[in-house]
Structure 1
């Protein structure tokens, strides 16, 4: 399967070059253009999975372009904005944007948002595995129960289960806090609150992972969390 191909629309050449190079390095296809006219031409000539759209552009601004996109294309849109006013962020979401990222931004954060939006936009074609095994533990996905190597059963609440599933989906790879907040809680929670950290703390307790020096769910500074165990799925 071909990797997702992203269309970046930003009049700042430095941001275009930064994002295009970073996304290529992460295995994504990326085309970068500087305004709405070039965006429409790119859409006529290519196929894309998501648009990263700057709010402030020459000619039609990002909100106008997003609204027009919604009329003709079924593409997820992430808005880039340097404005902190809630009214403009709300206007972008009302125009059909799936998410927004504030400038200046960390490309790692933007990539986490891109992954989350693509996941929500793309229906899964795989059946949910009945059992996931990791580090001697078993997770029954149908009843949301974990069984320890010694046979102890732990029932998981909704947020704990969703957080664990995100970590199990990417073993040995960092999962950002922002991505976890988005997938576990949705857009209603602020990314800078501590709810996801409390959730991870509970999971460590369930998994007998020493909170002072965790080895199974490790914290990576400025990156998020990583599950250090191999994961095996059973139908």
Structure 2
């Protein structure tokens, strides 16, 4: 039995770009709704279920960054940001808002379709190998570790309380939890996030780590440790973070 088509919300104020994206995504098997302002995007998000959102940053009504932050307050819906602003600081601001990926205008509609597919694959939108089975034989974080991941449900807890991670943050934590105490370079974590070689700024990893630490509270930096000039590692045992 075929899986139902993935449903995507496009929020873009330029009608030509909006119609072009809707056409390309529809041709490639996606269902789409398209709106031209932030207020309409928020209404659609409240009334319908989507598998991914394509958000222009410079939307009237409510801008894309504001909408992305609102999404991250209560759900892990994948977000692809579109913008005419290509500076590194602008891209980092997008990742800080919770975006899963970022494209700078002008862009190829074919590349956008490819990135949408890649995001859905890595966030569970397509069949994937069970993460719990990857890295078989390697030491994983123990059941007494304060951070626990449920790979089947794509959920996390910290000291027994729900830990609201984005898809990208969950991917990073999955890699670190499988090999506690092992240092991962930024490039290795980028490969975890973008296995198909999508172009992205290296600092995206730093932004995701910062956001995870913030969610972990005062012990965040002790649990997710920086190894200067090398990368990051997860504290192997609870005592290592105290």
The TM-score with structure 1 as length reference comes to 0.54
Q: What does residue 11 of structure 2 align with?
A: 9
For 1:43-64, what per-residue CA distance to the aligned partner results, in whole angstroms no more than 9, with x for missing partners? 2222100000001111221111
Please report how far the alpha carbon of residue 123 of structure 1 lies from its aligned counterpart in structure 2 after TM superposition.
7.1
Q: What does residue 109 of structure 2 align with?
A: 107
Q: What does residue 194 of structure 2 align with?
A: 182
Q: What does residue 76 of structure 1 align with?
A: 78
Q: CA RMSD in A?
A: 2.8
- Mapping for residues 223-234 of structure 1, pairs under 5 Å: none
Q: Distance in 1 between matches of 2:201 and 2:119?
A: 15
For 1:2-49, what per-residue CA distance to the aligned partner results, in whole angstroms no more than 9, with x for missing partners? 011110001111111111111111111111011111112112222100
- Please tell me whether the aligned partners of residues 68 and 97 of structure 2 are also in contact (alpha carbons under 8 angstroms): yes
- Mapping for residues 1-235 of structure 1, pairs under 5 Å: 1-122=3-124, 182-185=194-197, 187=200
Distance 1:21 1:86, change over 3 A: same
Q: Distance in 2 between matches of 1:123 and 1:97?
A: 16
Secondary structure of the residue that 1:119 maps to in structure 2? Answer: helix
Aligned residues: 142
Unaligned 5+ segments in structure 2 are 131-135, 137-192, 203-242
Q: What does residue 172 of structure 2 align with?
A: none
Unaligned 5+ segments in structure 1 are 129-141, 143-180, 190-235
Going by fraction, where is helix more abundant, 1 or 2? 2
- Please tell me whether the aligned partners of residues 80 and 101 of structure 2 are also in contact (alpha carbons under 8 angstroms): yes
- Please tell me whether the aligned partners of residues 91 and 102 of structure 2 are also in contact (alpha carbons under 8 angstroms): yes
Based on CA coordinates, which of the two structures has the bigger radius of gyration? 1
- Please tell me whether the aligned partners of residues 51 and 125 of structure 2 are also in contact (alpha carbons under 8 angstroms): no
Moved over 2 A (4+): 123-128, 184-189
